[in-house]
Chain A
Amino acid sequence: MSIMEYNGGSVIAMVGKECVAIACDLRLGNQALGISSKFEKIFPVTDKLYVGLPGLATDVTTLKELFRYRVNMYTIKEEREIEPDTFAHLVSSTLYERRFGPYFIEPVMAGISTTPGGKVKPFIAATDLIGCLNFAKDFVVAGTASSKLFGVAEGLWEPDLEPEDLFETISQTMLNAVDRDAYSGWGTMVYVITKDKVIQRTLKGRMD
C-alpha cells in the first residue's frame, strides 16, 4: 500500500498550437472503495494558468489553499499576475520546503504566457512530490494512471494541434487510460486554455 495510491486520481497536460490543455479524473476513493465522483483536482491559478494536484487527497486541498495564499501574496507584492514559469518554481520550492516529510502530491501545470512582442507561448510542467521540475515540450502525466496515460498520449499526441483537436486528443487519452486503472476514473474534467478564452468541459466516463 503506497500513500500515493491511497485516494487514486490522475492528471495530464498537453501542448497544442498557441494553446494548452489539462485534464483530471473525478474519483476520490479509499483504496478500492469509491467515496466521491465529484472530486476535482485542477484549480485555476490565474485566468491563463491552471494547476492539477493528483495524489493524497488531504494534500490536494492543503496545497490548493497554500498555492492560493502564496499566489495572492505574490500578486499583491508584485502588482501583477504570476507568470507560468515563475509559478512552476513557486510550486517546486513549496514542495522542496518539505523535503524530508513531503506533501504526497505530484503537481502538473498548464498555462500560456504572452511575450512583450505579442507572441503566445504555451507552457506545461510537472514536478515530483519533492519539487523536481520537468518542463516538457509535448505532454506531462501524473497520478495512479500515469503509466497508462504515457502510453496512450505517446500514441495520440502530435505537434501543433488546434484547440478543438487538442481537446479531442486529451479527452480520448484520459478516458481510455483511466479505464485501465482501477483507482482513477468516474468522470473527467478538461480545460483547454487559449490566448483569449478557456474552454471547460466535464466528460462522462465509465462508472465502474
Chain B
Amino acid sequence: METSFAITGKGYTIVASDTTAARSIVKMKVDEDRIKVLSSHLLMACSGEPGDTIQFSEFVERNIRLFQIRNNYSLKPSAAAAWIRRSLAQSLRSRKPYSVNLLLGGYDTTSHRPHLYWVDYLGTMTEVPFAAHGYGSYFVLSLLDKYHDPEAPLEEGLAVLKRCMDEVAKRLIVNPSAYKIKIVDKDGVREIEL
C-alpha cells in the first residue's frame, strides 16, 4: 500500500508521496505522481483505490478551478478542505463511495500561515501539524512526534522529511523506491528532489 506524509513548518507545508503504482504483488509503475496541485497555493496527496483517486482528485481539481473562474479568487485552504470533506462524507453514504485518503497542504495567503489537513475516505477531517497515510504512517507518526518542529525553517523541515523516508525504507517490508515531494509556501507550489 502506498505511503504519503506531510509536515508543516515556518511558512511552508511539505507533502511527500511515494511514486509506486502497484497491483497485487506487481509494481506497475515507479513514477506515478500522486500529489495534485489544486490551485496556486494548495496541494493534495491522494492514496487509496487507484481508479477512485484519479476520478476524485480530478473532480476536486475542476470544482476548485470552477470556483476560481466564477468568483475571481481561490478558496482558502480551510474552505477547500471543508468542501472536499463534505464531498467525501456525502459519497460515503452513496451506493459506491470513493475510497480515497487525502493529505491537503496549503498556504493561506490572507493570514500567511501554512495549513495541513488529514482527511480519510469516511470524511474524517482534522487540521494537524504533521500527518501520514498508509502503512508508513505507523513509523512516520511516532518519528515526527519526536522530531517535528512547527517553527523549523525549510532546511530543517526537509531534513526531518528525509529521516521519515529513511525510517520507512528501513522498517517497512515493501519499501517505496522513490518519492515525489512538493512544497507550498508564500511563493506558491514547487516540486523538489531530495
Contact = CB atoms under 8 A, between A and B. Distances in A.
Given A35-B128, A36-B128, A58 B122 contact: yes
Q: A interface, by DSSP: helix, strand, loop or mixed?
A: mixed
Interface residues of B, number: 19
Contact of B89 (A33, A36, A38, A58): A58
Contacts of A39: 126
B127 interface: yes
Interface string A27-39: 0101001111011
Contacts of A101: 93
A146 interface: no
Contacts of B100: none
A33 B126 CA distance: 14
A39 B128 CA distance: 10
B122 A56 contact: yes
Nearest to A56: B122
Interface string A47-84: 00000000011100110010000000000000000000
Contacts of A65: 86
A61 B128 contact: no
A39 to B, nearest CB: 5
| Most chain B C-beta atoms within 10 Å of own C-beta, residue among A7, A58, A101 | A58
Contact of B137 (A7, A28, A33): A33
Contact of A38 (B88, B124, B127): B127
Interface string A177-202: 00000000000000000000000000
Given A33-B138, A36-B128, A57 B122 contact: yes
Contact of B118 (A35, A56, A58, A61): A35
B120 interface: yes
A57 B93 contact: no
B122 A36 contact: no
B85 A61 contact: yes
A101 B86 CA distance: 18
A57 B141 contact: no
| Most chain B C-beta atoms within 10 Å of own C-beta, residue among A28, A35, A38, A56 | A35
B37 interface: no
A62 B125 CA distance: 10
10 contacts: A28-B124, A30-B120, A33-B137, A35-B118, A35-B131, A36-B126, A57-B126, A58-B92, A61-B123, A62-B123
Given A33-B138, A58-B122, A62-B86, 8 more contacts: A7-B124, A28-B124, A33-B137, A39-B126, A57-B124, A57-B126, A61-B124, A101-B93
Interface of A: 7, 28, 30, 33-36, 38-39, 56-58, 61-62, 65, 101
- Report, nearest first, the 7 A-B pairs whose CB atoms are least far apart: A58-B123, A57-B124, A36-B126, A58-B122, A58-B124, A62-B89, A58-B89
